[in-house]
Amino acid sequence: MNGGVDAEKVIGISGHLLAPEVCIVVGASGAAALMAGVRNSKFVVAINHDASAAVFSQADVGVVDDWKVMLEALVTNIDAECQ
């Protein structure tokens, strides 16, 4: 179920439950098992190239785009703010 990821790195029903201020879900479909792991997050941002992905119905903000492009832009902006 976890695609070969070590159990301590899994988020969701079969792993850790998170409750951060902001949770950025990248490239996930929005399967119930994963979303259970982030449901206590105060603000959820979803990034997925598939506009019909279920993750968007559970996110506070959704971005339909290539996750690599979005994360590169996010890192660039964070770096600029931190200087």
Domain with residue 53: its CATH number is 3.40.50.1220
Residue 1 is assigned to a structural domain of this protein: no
Structural domain harbouring 65: 7-82
Q: Please tell me the predicted confidence (pLDDT) of residue 53.
A: 95
User: The tokens of 46 are what?
Assistant: 């979803």
Residue 70 is assigned to a structural domain of this protein: yes
Q: Please tell me the predicted confidence (pLDDT) of residue 65.
A: 94
User: Tens digit of pLDDT per residue, the chain (83 long)?
Assistant: 445 666 666 676 766 777 889 999 999 998 888 888 888 899 999 999 999 999 999 999 999 999 999 999 999 999 999 98
Q: How many domains does the chain have?
A: 1
Per DSSP (E only), the strands in the chain are: 22-26, 43-48, 61-64
pTM for the whole structure: 0.76
Residue 53 is assigned to a structural domain of this protein: yes
Residue 2 is assigned to a structural domain of this protein: no
Q: How far apart are CA 37 and CA 34, in angstroms?
A: 5
C-alpha to C-alpha distances, 77 to 27, 32, 53, nearest whole angstrom: 20, 31, 26
